[in-house]
């Protein structure tokens, strides 16, 4: 921490994705695993040493490069006067268990955005929906304990820990998925037929896009309808809008649909919105929905479960300033044309560790209050 940042008192508050950022958590790559198979997910990367059924730590040289990029990003933020905190990694290669299940490995703590949802003076530890990620909140506990001591108004919450027993998942979902024809997969996309059952509420924090009073929640393969309902009941003063898109393995909203700043959203050019009335809703409120630029990559990077659309996975430092992966030239040019000041940040080596610049961060404090950016609501959205 710089001298300036050491003196910044802890206040937890952040209502949206764009108000001036003053305090943030940036993840770490240490010990990240290609996670062991489980009902929620199975990795199958035979060309890179991890065929179906195998698991283990990502190669050390990849981890070193990812940590260099994460440290560089943290320093860039600190140099701009933003306080940066980092999680405490666990031994992610350890076997974990609850009375309901045993899992041969954990995952990592690069993407705090997946686990921590900040809404106003509240941080919620998300349920998560993969067994390998059930205990990931522990990496953030030293920070949350500290914030709890230092900010008397901080509301620290944990969503009900899901059991993640066998009946939380559709049986043999991925084996069945592989057998599906193109038409059957398309049907699944339209019917939101993903791996989770509705047994219990499940959500990842990265499925939520925050815009003041309105929260957009991706009905993805890690966030079920019960998870959306839990959020709706938990935030009675907010408007919860479930959204979904034409995407065949939907995980996390921030490479698909991004609320950038008041009046402006960035939409994935391939994953079309399927939610009825969604585009009408933005139009009615004079928000522009801009299609993103072409990403730099054509395919997933080696050992990464994140797509080339991490090009959209950006971090707003204030309503005019955006951090973008430095390789995404076309995306940066588009932001430039939209009047944003672009800060290029080398970040491609972080992808395999769980995401891009938005995933790698979790807001602690942004200036500003809870505003209503959508005065014109639409029935049924």
Task: Using CB under 6 A, list all residues that contact ligand NVA.
Answer: 251-252, 254-255, 306-307, 309, 313, 355, 359
Residue 306 annotated in active site: no
* Backbone phi and psi for residue 31, each to the nearest 5 degrees, phi listed first: 70, 10
Angstrom distance (rounded) from CA 69 to CA 157 = 31
Q: Which C-beta is closer to ligand NVA: that of 118 or that of 313?
A: 313
Residue 108 or 120 having the CB closest to ligand NVA:
108
The Cα 45–Cα 51 span in angstroms is 5
Give the CA count within 13 Å in the CB-facing half-sphere of 293: 19
The least CB distance from residue 181 to ligand NVA, in Å, is 23
| Between 216 and 374, CB nearer to ligand NVA | 216
Question: For this structure, is 204 an active site residue?
Answer: yes
Q: How near is the Cβ of 353 to ligand NVA at its closest, in Å?
A: 12
**C-beta of 41 vs 74, nearer to ligand NVA:** 41
Residue 147 or 309 with smaller CB distance to ligand NVA: 309
| Catalytic site residue from 204, 214, 349, 363 | 204
To ligand NVA, the closest distance from the beta carbon of 309 in angstroms equals 4
Instruction: Determine contact, residues 163/128, Cβ cutoff 8 Å.
Output: no
- As measured in angstroms, the least distance from the Cβ of 114 to ligand NVA is 9
Nearest to 161 by CA among 116, 128, 207, 187: 128
Catalytic member of 23, 238, 252, 358: 252
Max Cα separation, the chain?
Answer: 59
Is residue 217 within 8 A of residue 228, CB to CB? The reply is: yes
Is 30 noted as a catalytic residue in this protein? no
Q: Compute the least distance from the CB of residue 183 to ligand NVA, in Å.
A: 23
For residue 315, the 8-state DSSP code is E
Beta carbon of residue 361, minimum distance to ligand NVA (angstroms, whole number):
12
Q: Closest CB to ligand NVA among 95 and 248?
A: 248
Distance CA(346)–CA(72), nearest Å, equals 8
Q: What distance in Å separates the CA atoms of residue 379 and residue 236, rounded to the nearest whole number? A: 17
Q: How many CB atoms lie within 10 A of CB 177?
A: 17
**Separation CA 359–CA 311 (nearest Å):** 12
Distance CA 10, CA 13 (A): 10
Smaller CB separation from ligand NVA, 251 or 364? 251
Q: Which residue is nearest to ligand NVA (CB)?
A: 307
Q: Which residues pair with 13 in a beta bridge?
A: 365
For residue 326 the two structure tokens come to 């430095």
Q: Which of 202, 214, 359, 363 is catalytic?
A: 359
Report CA-CA distances (Å) from 222 to 132, 151, 226, 255, 320.
13, 31, 11, 15, 32
To ligand NVA, the closest distance from the beta carbon of 300 in angstroms equals 8
Q: How far apart are CA 3 and CA 75, in angstroms?
A: 13
Residues with catalytic annotation?
Answer: 204, 252, 359
């Amino acid at each position: 921490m710089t001298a300036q940042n050491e003196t910044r008192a802890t206040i937890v508050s952040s209502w949206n994705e764009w108000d001036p950022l003053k305090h943030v958590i940036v993840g770490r790559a240490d010990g990240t695993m290609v996670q062991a198979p489980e009902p929620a997910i199975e990795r199958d990367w035979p060309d890179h040493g991890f065929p179906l059924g195998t698991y283990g730590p990502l190669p050390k040289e990849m981890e070193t490069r990812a940590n260099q990029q994460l440290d560089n990003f943290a320093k860039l933020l600190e140099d701009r006067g933003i306080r940066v905190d980092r999680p405490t990694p666990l031994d992610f290669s350890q076997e974990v268990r609850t009375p309901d299940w045993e899992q041969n490995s954990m995952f990592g703590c690069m993407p705090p955005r997946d686990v921590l949802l900040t809404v106003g003076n509240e941080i919620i530890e998300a349920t998560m929906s993969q067994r390998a990620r059930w205990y990931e909140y522990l990496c953030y506990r030293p920070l949350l304990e500290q914030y709890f001591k230092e900010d008397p108004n901080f509301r620290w919450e944990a969503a009900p820990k899901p059991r993640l027993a066998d009946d939380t998942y559709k049986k043999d979902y991925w084996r069945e998925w592989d057998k599906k024809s193109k038409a059957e997969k398309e049907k699944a996309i339209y019917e939101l037929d993903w791996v989770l059952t509705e047994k219990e509420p499940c959500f990842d924090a990265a499925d939520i896009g925050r815009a003041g009073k309105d929260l957009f929640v991706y009905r993805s393969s890690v966030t079920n309808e019960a998870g959306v309902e839990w959020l709706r009941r938990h935030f009675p003063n907010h408007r919860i809008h479930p959204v979904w898109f034409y995407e065949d393995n939907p995980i996390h909203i921030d490479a698909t649909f991004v609320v950038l700043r008041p009046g402006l959203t960035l939409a994935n050019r391939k994953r079309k919105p399927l939610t009825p009335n969604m585009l009408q809703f933005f139009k009615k409120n004079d928000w522009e929905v801009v299609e993103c630029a072409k990403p730099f990559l054509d395919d997933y990077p080696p050992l990464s479960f994140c797509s080339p659309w991490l090009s959209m996975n950006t971090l707003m430092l204030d309503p005019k300033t955006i951090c973008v992966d430095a390789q995404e030239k076309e995306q940066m040019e588009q932001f430039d044309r939209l009047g944003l000041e672009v800060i290029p940040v080398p970040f491609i080596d972080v992808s395999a560790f769980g995401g891009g610049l938005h995933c790698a961060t979790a807001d602690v404090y942004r200036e500003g209050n809870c505003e209503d950016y959508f005065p014109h609501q639409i029935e049924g959205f």
